[in-house]
Amino acid sequence: MIFIAAKFLVRPEYADQWPDIAADFTAATRAEPGCLSFDWSRSIEDPTEYVLVEAFRDDDAGAAHVQSAHFKTAQQTLPRHLAATPRIVNMKIPQDDWSLLGEMAVEE
């Protein structure tokens, strides 16, 4: 799978509204057949920073995502709310889902 983590620094005046601002893009991406995960988190240290964790099935799914109409729309609409260009880590990894963190196993 393709695993991506991206940090978005949002302008302070939009920080609280960011989930709503990105909602259409988020919903459309989650509906893509090759999308395995697309989840936003807000930093507890910097309320203007959001981290997006994405996973796509394979190269074809990743390519379909960046070629989609909703991605192109996001390229036009989201940057005006950002304080800086997002930073990204993008990797191919040999698995297709989250693994258990054995070092913190919870007994059920």
Number of domains, the chain: 1
- What pLDDT does 108 receive? 79
CB contact set of 56 (below 8 Å; sequence gap of 6+)? 1, 2, 4, 32, 34, 35, 36, 62, 65
- Nearest one of 41, 15, 29, 35 to 75, comparing CA atoms: 29
- Is 68 a residue whose pLDDT tops 90? yes
CATH number of the structural domain spanning residue 28:
3.30.70.100
pLDDT in tens, 94-107: 998 889 999 999 98
Place of tokens 């070629």: 67
- What pLDDT does 22 receive? 98
Mean pLDDT of the chain: 96
> pTM for the whole thing?
0.92
46 is in which domain, residue-wise?
2-93
106 within domain boundaries: no
pLDDT in tens, 13-31: 999 999 999 999 999 999 9
65 within domain boundaries: yes
Distances (CA, A) of 36 to 2, 4, 22: 9, 11, 18
34 within domain boundaries: yes
